Amino acid sequence: MKNKHTYFLFLTGMLVCLLLFAVNLASGSVLIPIQEVAGRFIGGEFSKSSWETIVIGYRIPKAFTAILAGIGLSLSGLQMQTFFRNPLAGPYVLGISSGAGLGVALLIMAGSAFGWSMYSGGLGIWAVVFSATLGSVLVLLLMSLTAWKVKDSMTLLIVGLMFGSAVSALISVLSYFSGADQLKMFTIWSMGSLGGTQPDQLIAFLVAVLLGLVPLLVNLKSFNAMLLGEAYAESMGVNVHRLRWAMIVSTGILAGSVTAFCGPIAFIGIAVPHMARLVFKTGDHRVLFPASALIGAAVLLACDTISQLPGSAQTLPINAVTSLVGAPMVIWLILRRNFSKEF
């Protein structure tokens, strides 16, 4: 089903991704000329030694975090949309980010009672990652239990939304009773950040994303069968029940780890699969999965570059930028391509 046009699009996408990567490394509160960045990669050295620290120690981990998060979010979004046959499904519909949020809220608000602070050294970040993971795993377990009991996928979707709302309400209650400092800390976490990952966390993040890809790769063919709906998929030998588990586990690990390491990042998961369908004009998941991963990485890199507000020392929260930049873009794509028919 692949053709020359598809390969051309992939090649262009990769070049764009590479370019965005370089621009991302160059921009920030300290502007480094892009030719210096490119020179460093082909074996040269920076003309200022401070740039080395900035790029290698901070910007490269951040850029890789953006790539991994972009891939993770868009791939879980694509799985959800295909499985539920619903263009509005995204990685967070099963309450995964709310679960992570609850974990972090508990840590920040309850932790302060024991004198813990997010700023208390390196352990702080790991504690946040750990509690976010714990929270999303908890929601994931609940969802799996439901998936085991419930036969209908639409019911599962509704239950997932309800879990999300209930958990969000719990977070509200916690926020109501917590002090101003903790509240601010939690709010900052919930705005997302790509810059918080150190190299060792980046490796953990990479392992998590690779792990989340496994159930997806195993079931690649089944996702194509799901395009005709559950009943047809079943008649073509797809075990829909098993596929549902695989999807929950995969999105749980992907979206859960992104939320754990970067906080909740809106928009990417729900919009990138649509962008992939619009650009590549196909429903074939053997094309759509790599395409979504590529576009997801590119979009998040671009958003991160914008959030640095090139030329100024200020940065914007990434969670706000993704929606601010992405929403108009998707609206434009949709209106231009008469989207309502396409899925």
Partner 1 sequence: MSIQNSILQATNLSLGYQKGSRSNVIAAHISFSLEKGKLTCLLGPNGVGKSTLIKTILGQIPALKYQVYLDKKPTNSISIKDLSKKIAVVLTEKINSANLTVKQVVSLGRIPHTGWLGNLSVADQQKIDVAIQSTHINYIENRPMSELSDGQLQKVMIARALAQDCEILILDEPTAHLDLINRFEIMHLLRDIARNKNKAVLVVTHDLDIAIDTADEFWLMQCGLPLVCGSPEDLILQGKIDLLLPNDRLYFDKSDGKVQDSEEFQYPHIDGPEYMVKWVKLALRKNKINPEGKSISIKTEGKQTYFYLSLGKQTLKFESIASCLDHLNLVKN
Could you list the residues that contact partner 1 (CB under 8 A)? 1, 85, 218, 220-221, 224-225, 227-229, 231-232, 234-239, 277, 281-284, 286, 341-343
Nearer to partner 1, 195 or 283 (CB): 283
Q: How many residues does the chain have?
A: 343
SS3 274: helix
Instruction: At 57, list the tokens.
Output: 């120690």
Residue type for position 276: A
Contact 264, 187 (CB under 8 A): no
Burial 44-56 (b: 16+ CB within 10 A, else e): eebeeeebeebbe
Q: Which is nearer to partner 1, 76 or 82 (CB)?
A: 82
Q: How does 204-226 read in b/e, with b if 16+ C-beta sit within 10 Å? A: bbeebbeebbebbeebeebbbbb
Report the nearest approach of partner 1 to the CB of residue 227 (Å): 5
Choice between 82 and 178, CB closer to partner 1: 82
Count of CB atoms situated within 10 Å of the CB of 198: 14
Least Å from the CB of residue 255 to partner 1? 24
The minimum distance between CB 329 and partner 1, in angstroms, equals 19
Helices first, then strands: H and E counts in the chain: 15, 0
Q: What is the sign of the dihedral through the CA atoms of 30, 33, 34 and 39?
A: negative
Minimum CB separation of residue 9 from partner 1 in Å reads 14
**CB-nearer residue toward partner 1: 219 or 259:** 219
For partner 1, the closer of residues 197 and 282 by Cβ is: 282
User: Which lies closer to partner 1 via its Cβ, residue 245 or residue 343?
Assistant: 343
Minimum distance of partner 1 from residue 146's CB (angstroms): 20
Q: Is 40 helix (H, G, I), strand (E, B) or coil?
A: helix
What does the angle CA 30 – CA 51 – CA 204 come to, to the nearest 5 degrees?
Answer: 95
Write down the least CB distance from residue 299 to partner 1, Å. 20
